[in-house]
A = this chain, B = another copy of it.
Amino acid sequence: PQRMLVNKAQGTVLCQQHHAHTVFVNRSLTLENIKCYGFDMDYTLAVYKSPEYESLGFELLRDRLVSMGYPHELLGYMYDPTFPTRGLVYDTTYGNLLKIDSNGNILVCTHGFEYLRGEQVDEYYPNKFIQRDDTNRFYVLNTLFNLPETYLYACLVDFFTKSSRYKNCMKGFKHCDLFMSHRSTFQDIRDAMDYLHDTGTLKERTLKNLDKYVIKDPRLPVLLSRIKEVAKVFLATNSDFSYTEAIMKYLLDFPSGSKKLWRSYFDLVVVDTKKPLFFAGGTVLRQVDTDTGKLRIGTYTGNLQHGTVYSGGSSDIVCDLLDVMGKDILYVGDHIFGDILKSKKRQGWKTFLVVPELVKELHVWADKASECMFEELKHLDIFLAELYHCSFVFQMVTYGMDLCYGKVGSLLRCGSTKTLFASQLLRYADIYSTSCLNLLNYPFSYLFRAPLVLLPHEAAVESQTKE
């Protein structure tokens, strides 16, 4: 999508807007070869309004904790969208939120809302490193649904640290006979999340006020219709049928449009997919009675019928029903682990990661670009190298840059180091963009061409040759 830019000042704006509509490429991908498009629903087709939706989640979660017996003072905390970033790791032993790189090196460490400096980090992690395989201790907050929870971890540590009633210890807080371990508050928050999910409270509140919480974009039916002309389309969501029905109806039902049933946009609709299990063994495939929302008993064995909704199943069954192979599928989702990593690693699917945060990331980056920050950044890097031992200065500068993105910095990098999330995005997503709607900006014969990324030794040769 080539757009010509006029002048520098205006250019920045255009450029930001432009990039928000671009699909970025990690590995070359020829749309022409794609015979089947698969979509996740939540945060992919159904994009939740931020920060309204996260605020709702946060408040329900916070109130649940208070009703579980946590102090009423917690009700004073309100969701702050500038604090949490996706992809943080919660250390259930020490109550810290960590931003790490793909090798487990700690990039940022916060305790409550406090940003810890080098020596403080050393007290917790003398090697500035965690063994992230220890999933019993470290909990990765990978999805957009985790944002309210991420913020709540910080709130609780903040509250108890500042409260004069509680004594601070390494592994929690003490108050008379009571020990409030970070591990136990973690478990309480996880339980509260499960409660919201099992009782359907969050879903109910969302459905009551769809306009407030879900973005309705008239381009979505256009996109799905266009795709359906050239390829097969399926929806595979972990949500249940009644929620899926309500959301998809809202998204695809336009007064001006034809009175098409939302299901007619898809060759196959699968709910209750239990991803990532869906990409491994999966579960029994059932037909959903779309009138009652109940599962049909028994397993459907006939040919694929248009408009039929299924529950459960597996990625293998989807391939069988649609008669396509893994490499012919482009799967579009927002969950780096459940959607993208697993479909890529286990099934060899092509993957498109939706990263709504990219709007902000691009904005910050483009601002810096217009300020010729690139060159500065590089020089700064060299300059800092010489000052490296003076890690405080380095940290402060990185911190300053990070603040442009939010309180714990960018989703994707910390100074010149890529986060775990960025590494996984590069490794498992073939293409990525702020929204799946951006596919509309490309013809279906398009080749997404990956930039030729040189290895350091190749880059060294090239740069020398150019001189």
Contacts and interface: CB of A to CB of B under 8 A. Distances in A.
A180 B298 contact: yes
B298 A127 contact: no
Interface in A14-36: 15, 18-19, 22, 24-28, 30, 32-33
A19 B296 contact: no
Given A327-B128, A455-B418, A284 B181 contact: yes
A132 to B, nearest CB: 9
A5 to B, nearest CB: 7
A127 B422 CA distance: 27
Nearest to A427: B102
Contacts of A9: none
A397 interface: no
Contacts of A246: none
Given A32-B388, A378-B452, A456-B25, A296 B178 contact: yes
Given A26-B456, A369-B462, 5 more contacts: A5-B467, A19-B461, A103-B344, A377-B452, A412-B455
Contacts of A464: 3, 5, 11, 15, 18-19
Interface in A104-129: 104-105, 126-129
Interface of A: 3, 5, 11-12, 15, 18-19, 22, 24-28, 30, 32-33, 68-70, 102-105, 126-129, 131, 133, 172-181, 183-185, 187-188, 198, 283-284, 286-287, 289, 294-302, 325-327, 344-346, 348, 358, 361-362, 365-366, 369-370, 374, 377-378, 381-382, 385-386, 388-389, 412-413, 416-418, 422-423, 425-428, 432, 447, 449-453, 455-462, 464-465, 467
Contacts of A366: 461, 465
A131 B418 contact: no
A18 to B, nearest CB: 8
Assembly of this chain: how many copies? Answer: 4
B300 A178 contact: yes
Given A3-B464, A388-B30, A457-B24, A296 B198 contact: no
B299 A179 contact: yes
A300 B11 CA distance: 61
A19 B377 contact: no
A369 B452 contact: no
Contacts of A105: 348
A184 B413 CA distance: 46
Nearest to A371: B465
A420 to B, nearest CB: 11
Contacts of A184: 284, 286, 297-299
A280 to B, nearest CB: 11
A267 to B, nearest CB: 18
Contacts of A388: 30, 32-33, 447
Contacts of A103: 344-345, 348, 427-428
A125 to B, nearest CB: 9
A385 to B, nearest CB: 4
A174 B92 CA distance: 40
B127 A325 contact: yes
A456 B24 contact: yes
B462 A188 contact: no
Contacts of A455: 24, 412-413, 418, 422, 425-426
A284 B183 contact: yes
A178 B26 CA distance: 43
A386 to B, nearest CB: 7
A385 B180 contact: no
20 contacts: A15-B465, A19-B464, A24-B460, A33-B389, A68-B294, A103-B348, A103-B428, A129-B326, A129-B327, A129-B348, A178-B301, A184-B284, A184-B286, A361-B457, A366-B465, A381-B449, A385-B447, A385-B449, A416-B452, A418-B453
A381 B295 contact: no
Contacts of A327: 127-129
